[in-house]
Amino acid sequence: MALSSLIALVVSLVGAVLSPVVSLVATVLLVALIAWGWPAASGIAELRGIKNVLAHSVIFALCGWAGCALVYLAPTGKLLTLLPAVVAVGVVVVFLAELVRGEGAAARLESTISGAVGVFTAVSASGWVGMALIHHRTETGASVWGAGAILALCIGIVGARMIAAGPEGGLRRGAMTLGVTPVAFLGVLGYAGTLVIDRVIAWLP
């Protein structure tokens, strides 16, 4: 899990520095990994007695990829206003998916909570694309690498807690997803940090 987290952080940072297109591809793959493994990482698949929760995986992937597309195509400053709308739609779809399962379905409450967090995590990953766009526009590496250093510290704290809270003896894909989740989850925080650092640099003589 620690190795997965480290690889995801390095790939996301390098992608953000190289170009927005590379960052977009890296983030799309990151979202795919989250969608693939989140039901196992959260323990929902085990609670429901199945190996995969296909409906949740599809919702996570579509929401995460929609967030990536919006960040890449929309003006950079609109990121923090557009992404909450994607999250809101995703959460509503998760509720509907759980309602369709019918009355008395196993682990419905847990599935709903897990689904909402999964949507938020997948969409938050698109913040890395926002960091890449800022770096490409300003050509100031300090903004991306400075935010990356802040993220590394946050991941060290938050990631350790998330990994410790994971189910024991779960599937390998769940462990991998749990490792990369802190990197994706803090994508928007990285974007916000990049904006702040970029503006401070712009004010310096």
**CB of 110 within 8 A of CB of 158?**
no
pLDDT recorded at residue 193: 72
pLDDT recorded at residue 198: 67
At residue 40 the predicted structure's pLDDT band, cuts being 50, 70 and 90, is confident
* CA separation for the pair 88, 23 (Å, rounded): 24
Q: Regarding predicted confidence, which is higher, 138 or 126? A: 126
**CB of 71 within 8 A of CB of 130?**
yes
pTM value? Answer: 0.80
Collapsed DSSP state (helix, strand, coil) of residue 43: coil
Q: What is the mean pLDDT of residues 5-11?
A: 82
pLDDT recorded at residue 21: 94
Q: Is 8 exposed, middle or buried (0-12, 13-18, 19+ CB in 10 A)?
A: buried
CA triple 56-57-62, angle to 5 deg: 100
* CA separation for the pair 87, 135 (Å, rounded): 25
pLDDT recorded at residue 62: 97
**CB of 133 within 8 A of CB of 76?**
yes
At residue 30 the predicted structure's pLDDT band, cuts being 50, 70 and 90, is very high
pLDDT recorded at residue 14: 86
pLDDT recorded at residue 60: 95
Q: Residue 161 to residues 68, 90, 114, 127: CA-CA distances in angstroms?
A: 27, 25, 17, 22
At residue 174 the predicted structure's pLDDT band, cuts being 50, 70 and 90, is low
Q: What is the mean pLDDT of residues 66-94?
A: 85
Q: Regarding predicted confidence, which is higher, 151 or 122? A: 122
**CB of 24 within 8 A of CB of 196?**
no
